[in-house]
Chains A and B, each alone.
Chain A
């Protein structure tokens, strides 16, 4: 069974960079056929898709965040990562990672999520 686990900095200061990693077990990112996404949920608000990466390293991100987002993959560790620069309080959210089949717009497996708070 596929399992995804988010980890990273839980508290980030304004203007700094948020860094998160999603460790994948039960499947290999290198095998292809899937996209690996980041999604977030600010407190009391709905979900927002941040972006995804393919095993090849190709990425696509939400235009509203694109200038600040970097998504990368580390095939040797079977994990992918998110960096979000110049954070503000508006970036405080629970961040989730998830997997989708290529060409299908559904998030079939999710991690439990990790709360990131932006505060000085």
Chain B
């Protein structure tokens, strides 16, 4: 069982917006602004898409945004496109000796 909790799957139609949640504790998401999100197309290298809760690496689409409230972080994808269909993982620093924890991943299906 992963340290951070994500829905196993979400879906949306092209053009719509979806939000993926990532729930942790006060020892990780709630206590630090070190939440990051990764996009993973199977067979390819995962890509960093959001870091430090809401920052986007240069070159990553503005359609992707991140936020946090309490112990839950969220990734919102607006204007869904077919190429957004992928697995999405959240991650956070943790004050436990594990140092770094991940969510179980969410499979996004674009209908």
Give bound CA distance, A112 to B93, whole Å: 23
**Interface membership of B97, Cβ < 8 A:** yes
Tell me the minimal C-beta distance from B106 to chain A in angstroms. Answer: 10
Chain A residue, CB-CB nearest to B57: A108
Size of A's binding interface in residues, CB under 8 A: 23
Q: Does B23 contact A (CB under 8 A)?
A: no
Interface set of B (CB-CB < 8 Å, partner A): 2, 32, 34, 36, 38, 43-48, 51-52, 57, 89, 91-93, 97-105
Given B32, B44, B51, B89, which contacts A106 in the complex, CB threshold below 8 Å?
Answer: B51
Known: A46-B102, A46-B103, A46-B105. A107 touches B44 (CB 8 A): no
Name the CB-closest residue of B to A50. B100
A1-40: which have CB < 8 Å to B? 4, 39
